[in-house]
Each structure stands twice: as structure tokens, then as C-alpha cells.
Amino acid sequence: MLNTSGFFFFFIKNSVFLGYAEPVNGETEARKFIEKIKNRHKDAAHNVSAYIIKNSNELTVKYDDDGEPAGSSGKPVYKVMDLKNIQNAVVVVSRYFGGIKLGFGGLTRAYRETAIEAIENAGITNICNRTRLKIRFDYSCIKDAKTLIEQYGKIDEEHYFDVVEFITDINEDLTDDFVQKLKSITKDKVIIQYL
């Protein structure tokens, strides 16, 4: 995942390449960002884009050459994202043609390099796999349970019935340790369901 937005300016043989990398929460956000950059650079010869979105077990991958020769631009941008394991992000590279043709290989390199630098400028956050749990426990344990959850992950949903019910998102590598400590602080009076 990207830390923040990234930008890179690349000049080769009179052509200008402007690279934008942006973290997004879904396909709708990715499309909106692409439209935003296309509107910003309406006069660009091409606005090439790629995004990878992963939600739960669903992976969405799209890339667009935007009029460049097939496979010369969108796919190399996507490949950079894939090789760097970037998910939930979009990259757009706008090209202002300078009158000198770069050839297929030259185009591929220019788009790839611009994407790499835009992504590097955004910064990359390593994402660990998560375990989603539904936990139910007594109200007397709520403070300790919240503190514990914050150390191992986060609470996605809170429900208050005759008992407290949280839907949690826990670091997968620490799930066993979390469950053990949760059982301890609730004196084993907790119902844990893996979602």
C-alpha cells in the first residue's frame, strides 16, 4: 500500500511524462482519481492508468493504454505495481508528446520508469495479512478488551446487546497470541468466531 500521494516528472526526447500514484479504498475511488488527472491534463496526448484493488478475497486489476500501442504503457505500469506488491492504489501517467517517436521499447521504459518513481515518491507501507474475528464478552471486560485489540489490530464494528460484540481486524501473525490474552482477560468467558 502507498503511504501518500506520489508525483514524478520525466523528460525524454522532447516528451514529458507526469506520473501520479495514489492510495485508494476501492475501484470507485481509483476511477475518480483517473478522471481527475485526465481533466487536469486534457491536452496531454495520453493519460495511461493502472490500478490494483484488493478487498477481502476479491482482486480487481485494470490497466489502460489510452491510445498508445497495445501493451506499451498500461501493462508496464500495472507490472510495476504488481512486482512491488502494491494494492489498493492507482497510478496515472500523462504524456505530452514532443514530436519524436520513442518506439515500443522506449515507450515501455518511459512509462515504467515514471511509474516506479511516482510510487517511490509516495512511499510504500508493508501490509500484513489480517484475521477477522467476531468476539462476544461481558461488559465488565470492555475496557481491557479494547486496549488489547488496539495492540493487535482494530475494531471494525461495535454492537451492544446483552453482551458486547466486536468485529475485529487482527494482525494474522499475532492472532494466536491475541486469542490467548483475550481468553485470559475475560477469564475464558468469551465467544470467538473466525469470519
Strands lying side by side in the sheet with 15-23: 6-12, 15-23, 89-96, 46-55, 58-64
Q: Same structural domain for residues 105 and 163? A: no
Whether the pLDDT of residue 138 is over 60: the answer is: yes
Whether the pLDDT of residue 126 is over 60: the answer is: no
Whether the pLDDT of residue 40 is over 60: the answer is: yes
Q: Same structural domain for residues 56 and 115? A: yes
- CATH number for the domain spanning 138: value is 3.30.70.240
Q: Is residue 175 part of a domain?
A: yes
pTM score of the predicted model: 0.63
Look up residue 129 and give its DSSP letter: -
Q: Is residue 34 part of a domain?
A: yes
Q: CA dihedral in degrees (156, 160, 165, 167; nearest 10)?
A: -10
Q: Which domain holds residue 175?
A: 130-194
The last residue of one of the domains, among 65, 91, 122, is: 122
The total number of structural domains that make up the chain: 2
Q: Provide mean pLDDT across the span 28-47.
A: 96
- The pLDDT, as a whole number, for residue 11 is 86
Q: Same structural domain for residues 134 and 184? A: yes
Q: Same structural domain for residues 59 and 118? A: yes
Q: Provide mean pLDDT across the span 169-174.
A: 82
**In a 10 Å sphere around its CB, with 0-12 CB exposed, 13-18 middle and 19+ buried, how is residue 99 labelled?**
exposed
Give the number of other CB atoms < 10 A from CB of residue 142: 14
The last residue of one of the domains, among 122, 156, 171, is: 122
Distance (Å, rounded) from C-alpha 173 to C-alpha 188? 22
Q: Is residue 1 part of a domain?
A: no
The last residue of one of the domains, among 77, 102, 122, is: 122
Q: Same structural domain for residues 134 and 118? A: no
Percent of the chain with pLDDT over 70: 94
pLDDT band for 171, please (50, 70, 90 cuts). Answer: confident
Q: What is the pLDDT of residues 86-107, one digit of tens each?
A: 889 999 999 999 888 898 999 9
- CATH number for the domain spanning 86: value is 3.30.230.30
- The pLDDT, as a whole number, for residue 58 is 82
Tell me what the pLDDT averaged over the chain comes to: 89
- The pLDDT, as a whole number, for residue 96 is 96
Percent of the chain with pLDDT over 90: 63
Q: Same structural domain for residues 11 and 100? A: yes
